[in-house]
Amino acid sequence: MDLASRLYGCLLVFYFSPLVHGDEEPCGGHRDASDAGYITTPGYPQEYPPHQDCRWIITAPEPSQRIVLNFNPHFELERLDCRYDFIEIRDGNSDSADLLGKHCSNIAPPAIISSGPVLHIRFVSDYAHQGAGFSLRYEIHKTGSDCSRNFTSPSGVIESPGFPDKYPHNLECTFIIIVPPHMEVTLTFMTFDLENDPLQGSEGECKYDWLEVWDGLPQVGPLIGRHCGTKIPPEIQSSTGILSLTFHTDMAVAKDGFSASYNMTLKEVTDNFHCSNPFGMESGRITDDQITASSSFSDGLWSPQQARLNYDNNAWTPSEDSNKEYIQVDLHFLKVLAGIATQGAISKETHKSYYVTSFKLEVSTNGEDWMVYRHGKNHKTFHANTDPSEVVLNRIPQPVLARFVRIRPQTWKNGIALRFELYGCQITDAPCSEMQGMLSGLLPDSQITASSMRDIHGSMGAARLVASRSGWYPNPTQPVAGEEWLQVDLGVPKTVRGIITQGARGVDGSTSAENRAFVRKYRLAHSMNGKDWTYFLDPRTGHHKIFEGNTHFDTPEIRRFDEIVTQFIRVYPERWSPPGIGMRMEILGCDLPESTTTADIATPTLAQQEETTTAQRIPAPSSVSSLGGLCDFEQNMCGWTHDPTGDVNWALHSPSSPGLDLPLGADDYGSFLYLEAGLKTEHKRAKLLSPVVGPEQGPLCLLFRYQLSGEAQGRLQVLIRNDNQDETLLWTLKADHDHKWREGRTILPQSPKEYQVVIEGLFEHGSLGHIWIDNIHMSSSTELEQCIEPFPAFPPEMTGGVLPGMSDPTVDTTVSLQPMPTYWYYVIAGGGALVLLASVTLLMALCCHRYHLAAKKSQHSVSYHSTHYPGGTATAPPVEPMLTIRQEKHEPCSQC
């Protein structure tokens, strides 16, 4: 029995080890808020593990300081009234302190601020229903008004605390505008009055009270500008997904503060767009503060602000005519520069003509590191004007990414005089080219990884495009091509169409020559799970595609490719500059068509009390307005019809005219539509067509019950069809869910044109299986948030996009599974152990009996030779075990 006992013990360890595995990887700890940082669930944004109980204590260095928490919008914890999985924030250093909030579901909490210098955070997960988890940023919140806030509504007003009265002292406020995909936000200041800095040398040098605007999260994304005094900041338009403001006040002078409005608009993107829009020198959209110069003529009549194209009063002229002089424009955002139009001027005072005949172009992302534009290996000299009035347009042979643009005159007639306009577009103007969060900080540092990193104490945030002051450097001083890599996890599968790469400027942000590194060529790979990688291939050779990288450490380069669906992108440097590998990057793409399902057990349609003798069918109504109620198929089809383009039709089951032999206990299912697997339905589509959804109706919430069961690999899908008969996938599910009713939900978009909903069923095999649908309801009263559930769905196989002209509401792809009670794990484990123990006992009894029988009949003894390797080497092929029978004297049988 010793062997059996050991086997039983091993079996218990095998069964119960998953239950204690979570204890081997604890999370939590103490954090110092002196420097801002992040806290994430284990594995974020992948599913967090079960059986977690993590506790963090965040402490500010001074007793008078407070701590503010800001959550990433990608927040996903099991709902269920926060009883099983949740995050709990307490205003102190233990779980007995005052509760500031307990959160779950898929809606990120608002900013949370402590009343003292300590916060206690607890994260708990049970054994089932894991989600993506959370990521939060903590930092010091100075004593003052509770003014930090996140804005997600399409429009709103942001004001300083107490506005229009004077703002309080010692404030540190953060305002974050979170913009949905396909949208851009415009921020317009209406009033502005902050303490002025009398010694302010230039914009950005305010030292007392100031308002900072960030293209992304504060201290992560690029700083657009710092403002103080009474001059109203310029209008700001951003399409990177996040626009932030930070408001700082000291303990001295207080002013009236500021008021600004923001408005989100749908970004118009077309396949045939042209990157040739004027940036705003002539129109004034580029403000005077954005235009600077190396110098200007001393009489004040030839300032940089007069360099606007077609300006009617002189132009810009430097203090001396020299090719060292330049005029510069800050575009506030990284943009694609595609052309420059130039013009000279006739002096209003002397009526003499002045114009530039040639110039060079310099570009920068930060206003410090500059690159002279090259065409080929040489600096490009652009030929400009031949008279003072004519506008000459120079197209840039290879459009370049830049935020700061300098024009440096090389030759001129009579003297330098310049008026000009810049042309190009935003990076996001191209289809499916939204920045995925490297620049803005929407992607946390935990989703950026690398093969190695030279600065072991550094942050992976160094790899962010433009926003980082340094860059990613691998650890080896002499790296090998193909061995080092930089990787980005997008959090969820996305459609990816391009990548932007940039060099690096030194681990410490220095710009010495030995630190100005960049990658000249690289390979790209993508993956859905971070383990199995597929390389981009060159269609001409079939080999790994080699992408052209950078030629300068500061100037970014865009490389676009055919769209792919992926979650992970990895860059493998192949060739690099003499100082080595250095890189920053951003991913361009867009969200997949979104859908949602919930697999909670749902109650099917109950049979009504009155008897029905037939399933009456009526013609489809012309509008969805007649479908305001629930369609349970008890009386009729409620306007839904069989699509003539389908291969087969849905069948109707009703208690009075049953079409199915239902399982025991299913008599109360009532009426529903069904599709059974078989040879006649294999690879055949059954389509149910809704009444017409009229123009500008919605968004609506489509709710329905379904069963999807069997081994036939059934698929249930919801699509929308426009008047051109083009179909777009909204929701899909492929699984065996047993004989249980579940609920599906998805948002139907609003469209300027009418469309119809298609519910489609399909079997991939003709074996056993069924698809049932019931209780269809297009609801205009259900809140869209109720159409969104917090759990990740089965991966939908979607490639379609939103119909032209339709809004694309944000919907999480979700599924919810009914949890198994804890005691069942112990019942299953114990039962399995007993079965295995009985099997081992029976086997040993049979062996013993056979041994006795052989000894009595032949008086032979049996011995087994173990597998061995001829020649005594483990590399030789193994020989099968041999059975040898030896004639021996009879001996008494020993115990088995």
3-state secondary structure of 851: helix
Element holding 3 (H helix, E strand): helix 2-20
Q: Is 197 labelled a binding residue?
A: no
Q: Is 195 labelled a binding residue?
A: yes
**In degrees rounded to 5, what are phi and psi of residue 752?**
-70, -10
Q: Residue 13 CB: number of other CB atoms within 10 A?
A: 9
* Cβ pair 338, 276 in contact under 8 A: yes
Total length of the chain: 896
How is 40-77 classified by DSSP, letter by letter? Answer: E-TTTTSPPPSSEEEEEEEE-SSTT-EEEEEE-S--BB
d(C-alpha 803, C-alpha 795), whole Å: 22
Q: Is 445 labelled a binding residue?
A: no
Q: Residue 33 CB: number of other CB atoms within 10 A?
A: 23
Element holding 822 (H helix, E strand): helix 822-858
Bin 371: left if φ > 0, else alpha if -120 < ψ < 50, else beta.
Answer: beta
Judging by beta carbons within 10 Å of its beta carbon (0-12, 13-18, 19+), is residue 838 exposed, middle or buried? exposed
d(C-alpha 705, C-alpha 692), whole Å: 21
* Cβ pair 551, 401 in contact under 8 A: no
Element holding 496 (H helix, E strand): strand 486-502
Regarding beta strands 327-343 and 419-426, do their DSSP bridges make them parallel or antiparallel, or are they unpaired? antiparallel
- What residue type is 299 in one-letter code? D
**How does 218-230 read in b/e, with b if 16+ C-beta sit within 10 Å?**
bbbbbbbbbbbbe
d(C-alpha 199, C-alpha 265), whole Å: 39
Paired with 392 in beta bridges are: 342
CA 673 to chain centre: 38
- The DSSP call for residue 216 is S
**Alpha helices, DSSP H, located in 626-718:** none
Paired with 721 in beta bridges are: 727, 756
Helices (H) and strands (E) in the chain, counts: 2, 50
d(C-alpha 891, C-alpha 888), whole Å: 8
For residue 450, which of 442, 459, 437, 441 has the smallest C-alpha distance?
459
Bin 435: left if φ > 0, else alpha if -120 < ψ < 50, else beta.
Answer: beta
Element holding 245 (H helix, E strand): strand 242-248
Q: Which position has the token pair 């308002």? A: 211
Annotation: binding site: 195, 209, 250
Annotation: binding site for Ca(2+): 195, 209, 250
